[in-house]
Amino acid sequence: MSMSTALAWIASGRMKSRAERRTADIINALPEEIQKDIGWRWTPTRREKGNKPGLRFEVL
């Protein structure tokens, strides 16, 4: 693996991680009713905070 390939691999992982965190932050900012409707880590007794979401997607 060349140095540029290794740097690209590291950068893509960081970009994907950042996109996942931003998506989770945006969805967590929604009202609880909407989070419940879309099935986003919602329980009747409490919302989970600080856990990594189960959302997976590819950054193009």
Indicate whether 43 pLDDT > 80: no
Helix (H) or strand (E) holding 42: none
Number of domains in the chain: 1
Q: How far apart, in whole angstroms, are the C-alpha atoms of residue 23 and residue 20? A: 5
Indicate whether 60 pLDDT > 80: no
Range of the domain at 56: 1-60
Name beta bridge partners: 42.
47
Indicate whether 45 pLDDT > 60: no
pLDDT tens digits along 1-40: 788 898 898 889 899 999 999 998 999 888 888 888 888 8
